[in-house]
Structures are given as C-alpha cells and as structure tokens.
Structure 1
Amino acid sequence: FLKEHPDIIISTGAGAAYPTCRIAKLFGKKIIYIESFAKINDKSKTGELVYKFADKFYVQWPEMLEIYPKAEYHGTVY
C-alpha cells in the first residue's frame, strides 16, 4: 500500500482485506467493496465492518439490500 499509493481500493472481502481498507481510508483513499457472491441471506464479517466507511458498497443478490440498505445491486460479478 505505501509503495504503490493507490487512489482506490477494490475488494471482494476476506478478513485480511479489512486492515488494508481501514488504512487506505485513513489516508483518504476511496473504498469500493463487493460483498461475496456466497452471501445471500446474511452479512460477512468483513462486509459488516467495511460497510460503515466504504464509498461504494455492492451486493450481488437483491435480497442483500434488506441487510445493507445503502448498498447497490447491479447483478453479479460473474
């Protein structure tokens, strides 16, 4: 992160992504998070944490809009 200086972080999750997203946000970078395709009815732990500060948060199932009301649904990534 410090070597490359990205302007935007795009993540699809995994617990290891949270610290990177948090540090990037502290440096004023944009965060785009795509909730896991495997999550249909409940939150992932990383999604739950990143949702609070992500600039854009996407879900891959329309049902997930009930869980993440500020998210956007535009279909799946696949």
Structure 2
Amino acid sequence: MNVSFINRSRHVGQSYISSIFTTLWAFFTVIPLVYRIRPKLILVNGPGTCIPIVIASLLLSFFFLIDRPKIVFVESICRVQSLSLTGKILQHLPVHILVQWPQLTELYPKTQYIGRLV
C-alpha cells in the first residue's frame, strides 16, 4: 500500500487571500500524483484539501490524459443547515455530493441524502 501526502490548501486561521497561493501550490503538487495513480473513484470529504485533487483529476480527464474518475464528496455530519465552503464549490463541478441531513437536499438540489455515513 502506498501513502501519499499532499499539501493543505488552507491552514486553520489562514486568510482567504493567502489561501489562494497555498491552494495553487497544492494543486500543482497533486497533478503528478493523480496522473500516476489514475484513480477510478475519488472519495473525498472535509476541508479544501480535496479541491486540488478533484480539479486535477477533472483537468487531466478533460485533456484525455486519464479516464474520468467518479468523484464523491461526503459532507460533514456537522453541516446541518448549509454546505461547507468546499461543498459549495464542488456543487458546481461534476461531483456526487452526499449530505448527512435530508433537509440539505431541499436547499442544494444537486446533493443526495442516502442516510448517515458516520
């Protein structure tokens, strides 16, 4: 089993402006990883760390360098009334978004509720 570490997009307390640069750094460091692994399924959750992985995989598949993987984002069970910033960003991309509260599907029609996952 191989374990790969990627850079965080944003550290706790980091400003949104400076997180643009750390997110770009994470994105460029994850492209070779996604290209090498060529995942069929990407299952992500949590903070913006997953955004560079998702965008890299979509970009590489757009240019036919890898087959487009299925991408599933699992929103935190703590998000009862709204999606996280990551969820709000990913809802505009071809990603399956699973929420753990049924009322979120009414606010965000592109999400799915299939029960609690935690």
Query: What TM-score results when the alignment is normalised by the length of structure 2?
Result: 0.60
How many residue pairs match? The answer is 78
Q: Looking at secondary structure, tell me which structure has more helix per residue.
A: 2
Q: Using CA pairs below 8 Å that are at least 6 residues apart, which structure has the higher relative contact order?
A: 1
User: Stretches of 4+ moved more than 6 A in 1?
Assistant: none
Structure 2 CA distance, aligned partners of 1:50 and 1:12?
Answer: 11
Query: Where does structure 1 lack aligned partners over 5 or more consecutive residues?
Result: none
Residues 28-67 of structure 1: CA distance to partner in whole angstroms, max 9, x if unpaired?
Answer: 3221111111100012010011111133211110011122
Q: Looking at secondary structure, tell me which structure has more strand per residue.
A: 1
Query: What TM-score results when the alignment is normalised by the length of structure 1?
Result: 0.86
1:26 to 19, 36, 59: 59
1:48 to 74, 88, 91: 88
- Larger of the two Rg values belongs to structure: 2
Query: Where does structure 2 lack aligned partners over 5 or more consecutive residues?
Result: 1-33, 62-67
